[in-house]
Every structure is written in C-alpha cells, then in structure tokens.
Structure 1
C-alpha cells in the first residue's frame, strides 16, 4: 500500500481539532454553564443534555445513510461537512447567548432547542468525517497512523475546549458576555478546521453502482447483526458513558471539594498533556500487540486513576490529585486513537462479507449514535445524581452532596469502563486476522 501524503495527514487530522473541541467543551462545561451561570436547576439541566444528545444520536444514522448514497462532484462526505461547519458557528453563539433572566421553563426550552441545533451541526460534520477513514487507505497500520494524526489534533482541540474556556470567560467583567464571545471564538475554530478538511481531502469517485444497497431499516439491522461490530460498538459505548460522567463531574469536584476551581485548569493540562504525549507511544505499541489489547490496558489505567482520584480530596492535597490526573491521561490516550482505528477494520470485514458493498456511513452513524446515547445517559445521570444528593450551585456543599460528586467522579464511571473491558476482550480482528482477510478476500478462517 502507498503511504499517505503529509498534506492528507494534516488536512484530514485537523478536522478533529474542532470536533473534539466541541465534544470536550460540552462535556466539561455545558452542565456547569446551565446550572451555575444560567441558574437552571440541576435536574432540568441534566434533562436538557439528555434530550440534546438523544436528538444528536437519532440524526446520526440518517446522516450516515444519506452520505453513503450521495453522489456529487465534491464526493459523498464533504458537502455535509461544509454545511455543518457553517451551522456550528451560529449554533454555538445562540446557545451561549441565552439570558439568565428567563424563567426556568423558558431557560429549559431555549437551551434544549439551541443544543439540538448545535448537535445537528456536529452530526453533519462528524459522521461523514469519520466515514472518510476507510476510504482513504485500506492498510492496517497506515490507518493507525492516520488516526494518530487525527487524534493529536483532537487532543489540541481538547486543550482549547477545556483549558482555555474559563480564563477567557473570566477576562470579561460581564460573565454572560464572556461566555457569548468565548462561544463565538470556539465556533469559529470549529468552522475553520472543518473547512480545511473539505479543502485538503480528495474523496474516491463513486458511481450509482457503488452506492447500491437495501433500504434504511434493513441496512442498519444488517449492520447490528454483525457480531464483530457489536464486540467493539458495545465497549465503545460503555467507555464513552464512563468518561463522559468523569468529564462532567471534574469541575464540580475541584470547585466544591478542593475549593480550588483554578486547579481544575492545571488538572486538565496534566490530563491532556500526557494524553498527547502517549498517542505516538500507543500507536507504536499497537504494532507489537493488538489494538484491542492497547485499548483495554488504557481503560484499566483510567479506571485505576479515577477510583483513586475520586476520594483524593479527603486524604491528599490538590497537587497529588493533579498528578493522578496526569496518570489517567496515559490511559485516556488509547481512547483517542484505538477505537477510531479499529472501526475501519470492521468496515473492511463487512465489505468482504457483502461482496464489496461499502457502508462506511452506516457504521459511522451507528458508532456515533451509540456514543451519543452513552453521553446523553452519562450527562443526565450526573444531573440526576447531583439533584438526588441535594446539590445547590455556588454554596458550600454538605457532606452528602460531596459524596454524590465523588461517586460520579469515580465508582460509577468505573463500573461502565470495566464492563466494556470484559466485552472487548472477545473482539477477534488482530493484525494477522486482518492481513489474511485482505489477502484471501474471505473472513472464513
């Protein structure tokens, strides 16, 4: 297989800077923005996030199916990425410009509506973008390399989406103005990086014969019957659920248990720096051992770290907690690279099973559909648990409420991650399996 050009690596990879900026920013800050800035109750805020993510998940299969069957001079994927890029800028501004002077009902309706709009924009970019990977190369290791570039940009997006937000907001005298301007800037970054990908990537040309297939429901039911796909899809969803719970809970932990909100930024730098540094290391290790083994090792590292961290506020100073977050980043790095390099291998498996019929968009749609259901459940669960433990914003929390915050930072997420590890162990595609499959054109061995 020919090597991928540097232009393609960089042009494709930068697209996920904006995508991961969105994912991280929403995961870390939207719940906080709704409760502590707008004054929406924790239960309603959790419900808003759940509705938005469910809507986001529902639009994923539709977008994936449509992009698989699109024929244009720009390719199957790039027209959707272009449209979503423009829409994301305006949706970001609208969501974070809501006035806190509205009633609870009005805040709930507006935040839910704008969040659904923003998620629609993200879907139009993310589903076709993810579907590009198996079309750009069929080589087992080149895909890992391409994903490594993508995820290096993704971690940079995480830095921007997580570490730059509060300093930017706090630089404005009016907090509400700060959030609106910050959202406009981040929306501009999301739009710009997606448009660079549209410019840099050249898709393979397809004909009507290439995009033939069954109807919408039958196509997705066929994909969901593929055991190999389920053995990565279910762990991915469980891992997303656990990690999303942790993301949404960290800002509460540092603000109300350590009483050091500024230290949250240092913890994010430690977490994301080690994640970025270990991406090439895990990519190298995946040449020596299977991708699934790397992924499981990484998730077990995350599990160990968050279980220790969740009760660190009781026993250790904040500096130790920051070091623990750095250790968690070693494992979190696998979550950036391994699942996205495994999915294209499943697409090849399916294509061989179905006489060359390629359904990248279908698998990409189901992939993000399940992950967003996991996010929706995680974010809603965080809000409901905070409400159950009588959380009230901007006051000293009771021991009962502090326990609730600790539970959503460690023990509850750890359960989801461990379940995912136990299922992923059974995933069958290794390098040897993949090479034999491509060489023989068969999966029967």
Structure 2
C-alpha cells in the first residue's frame, strides 16, 4: 500500500517524510479466528465472575457486603502491581512460541480452577463467617491475578501479529465479536443453568441461591475457557519481529516508551474509568431487577442484549474506514450516556419496562463500538512509543491496559459494596427471600444508574483529545521501514 505523506506536526515537532510503503502483512482467516478465541475464552467465565460474584457472596454464602468491599479494595491494590509484573515478564520472555503466546499455555488451567473456587461453597467453610471470607479472598484474588496472566497477552500479542493498522482493526473486531458472543451466550444462561443444576443436585437452596448449581456451571465454563485459550495458543503466530522483540527490554527502557505518549495516557484513563463504570453497572444489575423492579427473571433476560453488541462490533471496520477510530468510539460513548439517562427517566415513570428495555438496547449497541477499539488504540500506543522514543515494549505498554481496567473494575465493585453497606442492604441466604429498605433501593439505583453515568461522561471527554488518527499512516509507514532496516542489519 503506497502512502504519500506530507509534513506533519506531532507533539510540537515537524516531521517531513517522503513516500513509503506499508506492507499488507495480512493474517489468514484461520489465524484470525484462533486469535478471536482468546477473548472468547477470557470472557466465558470472567464476565460471569464480574456480574455474579458479589451476588453469590451475599445471597448464597451470606457474606456481609462490607466484607466484600474489603475484598475488592485489596484486589484493586494487588491488580495495581500484578499487571505491570506480567507485562515485564512478557518483555523478558523468549521461547520458541514467542513472547506472549506461552502465557496462554502456562496459566489458563490455573485460572479456570480459581474461577471454579470463586463459585464454590465447600462444607468446611459454611459454618464459619471467617472461613467463608478467607475462601472468597483466596479464590477471587487468585482468579484476578491469573486473569492478568492470560488476558494481557491477548492485547500485547496484537502488535506482533501484524504491523498493518487496518488489519489490527480487523483482528480486534473479530476478537471482540467472539468475546461479545461469549458474553451473549453464557450470561443469559447463567441463572437458568444455576437453577437447573441446583435442582438436579437438590442442595435445599431455592432458585439462584443454589451453591452446587453455581459450582457445576462454573466448572462447565472453566472447561470451555481452557479449550478456547488452547485454540488461540496453537493457532496464532507472532510474525512482527523487531530488535526489541528479540531481546529482554529492561524496566528503565520500557518506561521510556510512555514518555510523552499522550495516546497511551488517554486510553489508559478511559480503560480505568469506563470499565470501572461497567463493573458497577454489571454488579448492580441483578440487585436492581430483583429488588427495585421485583423482576429478577427480566434482569437475566436483558443480558440477551449482549447479542446486540455482535451487530455493532461487526460494523466497526466500516465505521472506522468512514470516520476514524476516535469518532467511532465516541459514538459508542455517547450511546452509553444516553442509555443511563433513559434508565433515569424510567425510574421517574415508576420503573417503566419499555423504557428500560430501550435503554438496554442503546447500551449494548454502544458497547459494541467501544470494546474492539480499546485494544487497537493500545497497539497504536505501542507504535507511538517506538516512533517517538525508539523503544518498543509491548508487554509493559499494554500491561497497563489490564492494570487500569482491573483497578477500575476492582474499585468499582468495592464502591458498589460500600454503597450497599451504607444503604443498609440486607443479606439473604438459603430459601429466605428478603425485601430491602428504601435506603438500600436508593443505593442500588445509585450503583446501576448514576455512578456509571459519571464514568461514561469522563471517558467521552478524555477520548475527545486523542487525535492519533490524523498521522497514523505516517507512523505506520516509518515504523515499517525501521523494522525492515533492523532485520536486514
């Protein structure tokens, strides 16, 4: 692909570049699907963990909301360290499989085991509040740390799969499509599956409070996760080879990759705020439909809206080709804001179900335009760091994606737990159905509508200042020539 480049002003300096060639570097369809299975595998059980873990703790185990707030706070602190740790390991990894791929082979099975633990209630912990708290702390923290081990490579490998910006959009779109498909398939099935398996086991708990039902469902999802991640490992190839990809990049050099890297700072901030808002909304959803609306089944049904993400995710390359990455994501951001405002209006009308369903439609359609592009923009930040500073550190730069998202999600879940505790939420276990006081209902509404709304607004404001689309072709062309020169040397 030939690009005629004019003089551009970037970060205060003028860069004049003659015409250069950017290699097509296309990835075959078989490998595209294999790469997409990585997100499918991660989302299969992790989305269930993010949506239902708090409900499992309070309504099945009977753990106080205040105790889970402490868990989410501690996890947020740990996540602030482990993401960078995994990123540095990736930058220092040299195997016959590459730098990122082997982590899917090494850590997928341990991750699945801890996710099953997070939805298990062994008999030896049920008689002690302390034992239950220790158990959920070990299981949840283990699952979150190991999620970083397999999810950071999903992003860090993208710059190594292709150097073509358009191919990256295609890869990320297909990956996000499969990830959304995993959510759309398994999230709505979760409560019915838990009820079904709980009934088969006959553990005495009613409906979605069955501990054995949750455990069996988690085992099934864990096995699917292992199959999907191994498919990604065996089906992908790290083909973009640079000087830095063939050596261990020390921390002091890795840090240079983010010096003046404003696209990186913007996308990391968005990752933190947007996914924090998403975590609060997701965790509050079961409570909102169960207690505020009195329609628990409808809450599970709305999760079918995740299928709508598939449509808009599939359209991402088209929109990017017409209006660019930033503007495409901005449409999605505005859509999430509109969805939250519609939820507010539905409350003013006494919980109007048609308006709520309209809000759900807006939310999932908008979500499909956002998720696929975050990974692409992070890959662009890797390129920008090398282009501006001469250092390519895929692991370090992209590890902050997991760090910021998990920190945001951890703090978001902690915030929801704290809000529920302050609202005097009443925990219920076994077959006991519990109504909630008005203070708890207001707390649930705050977590489902207002806190996420603030997060989406802040994300849209930050995104406005990302103008990398304007000189993306020039950057890709110059880096492609640089990599070819390094290989020849």
Contact 2:416 2:447 in 1 (8 A): yes
| Superposition pairs of residues 226-375 of structure 1, within 5 angstroms | 226-270=261-305, 272-310=306-344, 312-313=346-347, 315=349, 316-355=351-390, 357-375=391-409
Q: Secondary structure at the match of 1:204?
A: coil
Q: Which residue does 1:202 correspond to in 2?
A: 237
Q: Which residue does 1:66 correspond to in 2?
A: 89
The alpha carbon displacement at 1:283 in A equals 2.6
For residues 80-139 of structure 1, what are the alpha-carbon distances to aligned partners after superposition, in whole Å with 9 as ceiling and x for unaligned? 111111112221222222346242222111111111111222111111121111111111
The alpha carbon displacement at 1:144 in A equals 0.7
The alpha carbon displacement at 1:221 in A equals 6.6
Q: Which residue does 1:418 correspond to in 2?
A: 457
Contact 1:88 1:190 in 2 (8 A): no
Looking at structure 1, the residues matched to 441 and 358 of structure 2 have their Cα atoms a distance apart, in angstroms, of 21
Looking at structure 2, the residues matched to 132 and 162 of structure 1 have their Cα atoms a distance apart, in angstroms, of 27
For residues 27-61 of structure 1, what are the alpha-carbon distances to aligned partners after superposition, in whole Å with 9 as ceiling and x for unaligned? 21011011111000011112223323432342111
> Of 111, 117, 139, which aligns to 1:114?
139
| Superposition pairs of residues 212-231 of structure 1, within 5 angstroms | 212=247, 215-216=250-251, 219-220=254-255, 223=258, 225-231=260-266
For residues 310-331 of structure 1, what are the alpha-carbon distances to aligned partners after superposition, in whole Å with 9 as ceiling and x for unaligned? 4524524434312320121111
Q: Which residue does 1:55 correspond to in 2?
A: 78
Contact 1:275 1:329 in 2 (8 A): yes
Looking at structure 2, the residues matched to 252 and 384 of structure 1 have their Cα atoms a distance apart, in angstroms, of 14
The alpha carbon displacement at 1:12 in A equals 0.4
Q: Secondary structure at the match of 1:170?
A: helix
- Number of equivalences: 439
Structure 1: 5+ residue runs without aligned partners? Answer: none
> Of 401, 418, 440, which aligns to 1:401?
440
Per the normalisation by structure 2, the TM-score is 0.85
Per the normalisation by structure 1, the TM-score is 0.93
Contact 2:162 2:239 in 1 (8 A): no
Q: Which residue does 1:16 correspond to in 2?
A: 39
User: Is 1:83 paired with 2:106?
Assistant: yes
Contact 2:276 2:408 in 1 (8 A): yes
User: Is 1:146 paired with 2:185?
Assistant: no
Q: Which residue does 1:3 correspond to in 2?
A: 26
Q: Which residue does 2:471 correspond to in 1?
A: 433
Please identify the structure whose Cα radius of gyration is greater.
2
Looking at structure 1, the residues matched to 312 and 88 of structure 2 have their Cα atoms a distance apart, in angstroms, of 35
For residues 152-196 of structure 1, what are the alpha-carbon distances to aligned partners after superposition, in whole Å with 9 as ceiling and x for unaligned? 110112124421211111002231111111111111111111100
The alpha carbon displacement at 1:25 in A equals 1.1
Following TM superposition, the consecutive aligned residue runs of length 4 or more in structure 1 with deviations greater than 6 angstroms are none
Q: Report the CA distance shift for 1:398/1:212 in structure 2 as closer, same or farther (over 3 A).
A: same
Contact 2:53 2:118 in 1 (8 A): no
Contact 1:64 1:127 in 2 (8 A): yes
RMSD, aligned CA: 2.1
